[in-house]
Structure 1
Amino acid sequence: MFVHVVDEEIYLKLVDQNDAVRLFQLTDRSRCHLRQWLPWLDDTNSVNDTRYYIRESRNSFARHRSLNTAVVYKDKIVGVAGFNEFDWNNRSGSIGYWLDKHYTGKGIIIRSVGALTNFAFTELKLNRVEIRAAKENVKSRAIAEKLGFRMEGCIREAEWLYDHFVDHAVYGMLAREWNG
């Protein structure tokens, strides 16, 4: 099983079925907080929906297509961060993340995303890591910016969020630029 220590407070672990109840509880109690930026909340209405997500995540990990991890802070799962997809031909990966509303503002995600980026370049030998966030999602964009990712552009109407399209700000980091 994949486990990656971030620091003395945080580690990342491959999501597994034992996490389903906790992840669903986090999703459910943060639904309004997350719904503004994440398109999958209407499809996550039960623990079984979360179990399906975990099963698909593990299958994708086994095929080397993604790596979705539970963010564990002080021995409690508080969110998810990982590589939504890998493009091995081009040695790149795309990072995504979300955090329970009760754990924001503690630096958990920036430390987790920094660790994932470092892992991508040192262990996976990727050349490029990308983060996309809705243009108006200032907090998510701040993670990329604080880590030194470069804004590379904007993709217009990149994602459908329930009743409207949002533009995506695209951030990139190259292995040679990373100071990890």
Structure 2
Amino acid sequence: MTLFSHDLTDSAQLRPLEPWQAEEFAQYVDRVRPHLAPWLPWAHFIKDPDSARQFLQRYADTQSQDGGRMFGLWVDGKLEGGALFRIFDVPSGVCEMGVWLSPDAQGKGLVTQTARHLADWAFRVRGMHRIEWRVTPANTRSIAVAKRLGMRYEGTLRQVFAFNGVRQDLEIWALLADESA
């Protein structure tokens, strides 16, 4: 039983991912690291339960200040992905959402369902005005999700950050509250 959970399907649930789940999260990252590492910086430094706990604790601390927050996506009781609000700035009404999923769970619409649920919560419950989706141009699967959500491409920040030894471009996609369905 979980205290807070949203059923995405009969077998998939979205629920908070918290520090007490560090061992499970570390095992998940270890299991799918080659899949996550090209896109997610934290896939490189979460190596054990301690580093996972520190990472999850930062989000728990941020959430306690009404900022960013992290969620896990469980399929048949197994952690298979997650989502987060990397930025959740209530006074400005702007947040940034991100998602990830293991290869075994792909192709079932879980990322899109997760993102739609979180967007609906951010807009309708929390009163956010704008949700951003930041993605490298090479991440075509993530761009496809942004499009399915009805987000608009707003531009590219050229070589905005170094990752894996290469200066990366970052596309900005966004959805405004009055554009959401």
| Structure-2-length-normalised TM-score | 0.91
- Partners of 2:97 and 2:132 within 8 A in 1: yes
The structure 1 residue matched to 2:17, chosen from 15, 29, 32, is 15
Within 5 Å, give how 1:1-180 maps onto structure 2: 2-179=4-181
Letter in 2 for 1:138: T
Report how far residue 41 of structure 1 moved: 2.3
How far apart, in 2, do the equivalents of 1:5 and 1:56 lie?
26
Question: In the superposition, relative to structure 1, how do residues 48 and 88 fare at CA in structure 2: closer, same or farther (>3 Å)?
Answer: same
Q: Which amino acid aligns with 1:38?
A: L
> Whole-Å Cα distance in 2 between the matches of residues 112 and 28 of structure 1?
23
What is the CA-CA distance between 1:72 and the residue it aligns to? Answer: 2.1
Alpha-carbon distance in structure 2 between the residues aligned to 1:36 and 1:168:
14
Q: Kindly provide the amino acid, as one letter, of the partner of residue 36 in structure 2.
A: L
User: How many pairs were matched up?
Assistant: 179
In the alignment, the residues of structure 1 paired with residue 17 and residue 73 of structure 2 have an alpha-carbon distance, to the nearest angstrom, of 9
* Bigger mean CA offset, 111-120 vs 75-84: 75-84
Three-state SS of the structure 1 residue aligned to 2:158 is: strand
**Which amino acid counterpart does residue 115 of structure 1 have in structure 2?**
H
Structure 1 residue ranges without an equivalent (≥5): none
Query: Do 2:20 and 2:53's aligned partners in 1 also have CA atoms closer than 8 Å?
Result: no
Provide the identity percentage.
26
Q: 1:98 to 1:111 in 2, by over 3 A?
A: same
> Which SS does the other structure have where 1:105 is aligned?
coil
Q: Which amino acid counterpart does residue 99 of structure 1 have in structure 2?
A: L
Residue range with higher mean Cα deviation, 71-80 or 57-66: 71-80
Once the 2 structures are TM-superposed, how far is the Cα of residue 167 of structure 1 from its aligned partner? Answer: 0.7
What are the ranges of 5 or more consecutive residues in structure 2 without an aligned counterpart? none
TM-score, normalised by the number of residues in structure 1: 0.92
- Root mean square deviation of aligned Cα: 1.6
